[in-house]
Homo-oligomer: A and B are copies of this chain.
Amino acid sequence: MALTNFVQAINQALFEEMERDPLTFVMGEDVVLSAFGATKGLIDKFGPKRVRNTPIAEAGFVGAAVGAAMAGTRPICEVEFASFFYCAFDQVCNQAAKLRYMSGGQARLPLTFRCVFGAMGGAAAQHSETVYAQFLSVPGLKIAVPSGPADVKGLLKSAIRDDNPVIVFEHGALGRLREEIPAGDYLVPLGKAAVKRPGDNVTVVAIGAMVPKALKVADKLAKENVSVEVVDPRTLIPLDEETILASVEKTNRAVVADEGHLRGGAATDLAAMIAEKGFDFLDGPVRRVTSLDVPIPFSPPLEKAAIADEARIEAAIRELVGRR
């Protein structure tokens, strides 16, 4: 079976879902030519009515996606870089997230946002940020952070079919990651974590691009008979607490690894949950491996110093298994 890369997987999901439902359409900046390739070719198959280049006006087109969802269509709205969401926060946080609740359940918002995020080498502070932390505290949204081709395809397809606003965060550095994707109409449910590698000594809950990094570390430590279980939550909202806690109950040690910042970040959110609900399982503190709390710098050595990496995951694991 052929290997598919991350971007091709997104592209497949879009083709399949647009094929499936004539009320779906894609809108965003340069989705016709598609700089990153995710929407490539859609224009030829679905035409300009359903594949729309927008003006550079995030509040306008993100808000329009919200309105289009409320008026009976199923928009798939691309925000080129996650940090451009800042220009449309009202539309996402005050409108998309709240309208169903404020209307007493009348509003239906079958709405999917896609964005590229994360450090991808010298893109600097305004193009390297991990923005999902800012959405964690906004009830009404769902948040998916796929770590590989199969997951991004399955999660994106589920997101498009979901009747709530879902934001799919696609890490820019995963673009060329390749793997096999199960044939057919492959769906990954929102809210189901995946144990990417079973282990006994320590649980590493890894998010997005940290999953392949955690797996590398797990391979390395296996040679030293340190058995690492890698759990990928896959969606941050809804969160599969059960799978995460079951793993920690088994290993009694937890590291949470995320590329976002420490303060108010996703790693902090999961660590607090594990530390509270898994208190009686834990032999040591839940260690958080995150990027430094600085804007992401441009220069490669600085960027490397800022971003969470294998070395920090490894150090956190060693510290935990080394305790008593």
Interface, chain A (partner B; CB < 8 A):
59, 83, 86-87, 89-90, 93-94, 97-98, 101-102, 124-126, 133-140, 237, 239, 260-261, 263-266, 268-269, 271-273, 275-277, 279, 282, 284-288, 293-295, 297-298
Contact = CB atoms under 8 A, between A and B. Distances in A.
A264 B97 contact: no
Given A101-B294, A137-B261, 15 more contacts: A86-B93, A87-B89, A94-B125, A102-B295, A102-B298, A133-B137, A133-B264, A134-B137, A139-B261, A140-B295, A239-B263, A268-B268, A272-B272, A275-B276, A275-B286
Nearest to A127: B94
B93 A265 contact: no
A95 to B, nearest CB: 9
A260 B260 CA distance: 21
Contacts of A285: 275-277, 279
Contact of A137 (B86, B87, B265, B298): B265
**Which of A137, A260, A266, A269 has the most chain B CB atoms inside 10 A of its CB?**
A137
Nearest to A294: B139
A60 to B, nearest CB: 12
Contacts of A102: 124-126, 295, 298
This chain: how many copies in the complex? 2
A281 to B, nearest CB: 11
A278 to B, nearest CB: 9
Contacts of A137: 133-134, 260-261, 263-265
A286 B266 CA distance: 18
27 contacts: A86-B89, A89-B89, A101-B125, A101-B295, A102-B295, A102-B298, A133-B137, A134-B137, A137-B261, A137-B263, A139-B263, A139-B294, A139-B295, A140-B295, A239-B263, A264-B264, A264-B266, A264-B269, A268-B273, A271-B272, A271-B276, A272-B275, A275-B276, A275-B285, A276-B285, A279-B284, A279-B285
A272 B264 CA distance: 9
A272 B268 contact: yes
